[in-house]
Amino acid sequence: MTEIIWENNPEITEDLVKEHGLSEDEHQLMIKILGRTPTLTELGIFSVMWSEHCSYKSSKLHLKTLPTKAPWVIHGPGENAGVIDIGDNQAAIFKMESHNHPSYIEPYQGAATGVGGILRDVFTMGARPIANMNALRFGSPEHHKTRHLLSGVVEGIGGYGNCVGVPTVGGETNFHPSYDGNILVNAMAVGLADQDKIFLSAAAGVGNPVIYVGSKTGRDGIHGATMASAEFTEDSEEKRPTVQVGDPFTEKLLIEACIELMSTDMVVAIQDMGAAGLTSSSVEMASGGGVGFTINLDEVPQREEGMTPYEMMLSESQERMLVVLKPDRVEEAKKIFVKWDLDFAVIGEITDTGNLTLNWQGKTVADIPTQPLADNSPEYDRPWVKTVAPDTIDPASVAAPSDLGEALLKMVGSANMSSRAWIWEQYDHQVMADTIQLPGGDAAVVRVHDTDKALAISTDCTPRYVYADPFEGGKQAVAETWRNVTAVGATPMAITDCLNFGNPERPDIMGQFVGAIDGLREACTVLDYPVISGNVSLYNETNGTGIHPTPAIGGVGLLKDSSKMVTIAPKNDGDILVLVGETKGHIGCTQYLDIIEGREEGAPPPVDLEIEKRNGDFVRAQIQNGSVTACHDISDGGLFIALAEMAMASGKGMEIALNNGDVPLHAYGFGEDQARYIISLPADKLGEINSAADKAGVIIETIGVMQGNSLDIKDAMTISVEELLGAHDAWMPSYMSTES
């Protein structure tokens, strides 16, 4: 091991180790790995690489159980993003990441750099990004910070995504008091690449040059990864310096320069500098390739004077990449980055040592084996306690509202069920001109340029279900995106996940995580819907109060013929409305129970995955054969809400008659039974649909027809579409225009 000489190195005390988020056991393991006390720079490197954010030390034991393979999966977890085969030598590349802690501290920059980071994960693989999505959770609307955080996050997402020229095509936004002290900002990006032009991060070739490209390194974001691996306290505002600052215009230049570089044969390996910056990129590239890196920190482009090795290695300044090039192509590559007005510097080379060796001002300031930092980082089997699921609520025990129509209007105009147009109207969702289904439907749909194909994309999770029963809630989160993708006519292919939980050192929280993973695994297996990328975000809590467990799922599906796509809006008067799936009136854990009764109680609806698959496959087949004119999955708020959303989307009325049998009408209408859809079809297709359903063993029921200007549900309500729209559209603009 190289002797370390650094005159200004401070004493590495137990308190200093603790300040870096490491335990005493981890401190001793560091010393054992190095054979000596670490330098400050080395301590910083261990700190970020062994943080939850980078190492997954509390979660990877359980993540290993998730299904990740399928014939169409080209690259699963372990790369910057997952890759699936979409035919014709084309691949879809996608991933979801969290930027929760930074967005709470500094909402604009936190959200903006979250978008920038996930875009880099995608184009690092050689893909051109074609779509952004987001999954956002905020605290109670009454909380004094919620307006500020919502405004800043939305502005940050739009400000970055719009400027970089990638459309934001959909997502979800919810409110709940559990997020008062810890909002969630989960960003997803999807890109396209040729299968024979996909780039990986594993470095190779002793002597090959290591190149730094992009923006200069500053002091922003230092210890961002460590900060994202700790719960908040009253002094969290002081952590603003750990939040990165983004520049979307530089990101756009970087995208174009990297894509131009990757169109050549110069690149051996490439990696973006995300969490932990230069540290994580160099360690992961070296460890992945089984090689070492020697880096001369004097060559790192810096925008601030007097930066130390510690600061340079831990900075999370944005819009930076690390590239390994063929040695005879350096000058050729440099011309590309100079043309795009980006920094380009040879900062090191590949060695055969297996170590990350850092030199600065003629001295070695760090020399660390890379394997223990990355692939062999600590792995913990945290104690956990299974969540006890609550009892199922008998629908008959929940009193009917005095007026079903008033209840519906209250629900469509509530914080969690009202229109999100105020948000998505701030995003450019049509740049690149390939967005063919806009926000507001079940899934966004983006055309694969110059082809008949399209990708359907959905993000979803129902945290109240996961909180009540992590296993059933985990299953439902996967099934919901599967239904959303199916509902536009696409074949679900794979998911990415962003697993947001509280403190894993608490056995009850760890139990939520384990239960949710078990649910995800079962759903992905039965639905043939593998996990190909993702992120874990733990310690989402403030002063010991955790968020509702939120395993956000990003699903992607393929439409081989985009002309077969449907929306939630029925097109024609006279179209018949058909309910697919069985309704039992499951009322526990529903939006109805929360909004109308003020109760968050009961077991969530059970998810029968075999029925999910059978019903979804049936619906998709009917869409693909041209029988269906519109489709909407039934989820939050139940059947009445789904009908109202279809009426509002089409601007047309409906005449509905329900056969609710022994189930109380309000439970039948607002219950959240799973595996259900509403489809519309021409009257002359009804016999064909009934026959196909009988053959497939699928329960369907004709419930109404498109006509008039009102949602008319027999024995329940008559509400004009105009009145529905008025209630639906009003809440968020009114809320955001009100002073806190």
Active site residues: 53, 99
Q: Where are the alpha helices (DSSP H) in 580-709?
A: 591-595, 609-624, 638-650, 665-670, 686-696
Q: How far apart are CA 280 and CA 272, in angstroms?
A: 9
H or E segment to which residue 498 belongs: strand 491-500
Q: How far apart are CA 341 and CA 337, in angstroms?
A: 6
Query: Which DSSP category does 144 fall into?
Result: T
H or E segment to which residue 457 belongs: strand 454-460
H or E segment to which residue 463 belongs: helix 463-468
- Which tokens go with 398? 């929940």
Angle ∠(129,633,704) on CA atoms, nearest 5? 140
Contact in structure between 87 and 158 (CB atoms under 8 Å): no
Please return the burial class of 172, using the count of CB atoms within 10 Å of its CB with bins 0-12, 13-18 and 19+.
Answer: buried
Secondary structure, 3-state, 255-280: HHHHHHHHCCCCEEEEEECCCCHHHH
- The DSSP line for 34-52 is HTSPPPHHHHHHHHHHTSH
- The DSSP line for 205-261 is -TTPEEEEEESPB-STTTTHHHHTTS-B-TTGGGGGGGS----HHHHHHHHHHHHHH
Nearest to 515, CA basis, from 479, 480, 468: 468
Contact in structure between 430 and 619 (CB atoms under 8 Å): no
Contact in structure between 512 and 506 (CB atoms under 8 Å): no
Query: Which DSSP category does 79 fall into?
Result: B
Q: How far apart are CA 203 and CA 268, in angstroms?
A: 7
**Chain centre to alpha carbon of residue 136:** 9
Q: How far apart are CA 293 and CA 290, in angstroms?
A: 10
DSSP reduced 3-state for 92: strand
Nearest to 507, CA basis, from 386, 632, 628, 637: 386
Contact in structure between 504 and 512 (CB atoms under 8 Å): no
DSSP reduced 3-state for 449: coil
Nearest to 243, CA basis, from 221, 219, 276, 274: 221
H or E segment to which residue 492 belongs: strand 491-500
- Which tokens go with 496? 């990415």
- Which tokens go with 227? 């900060």
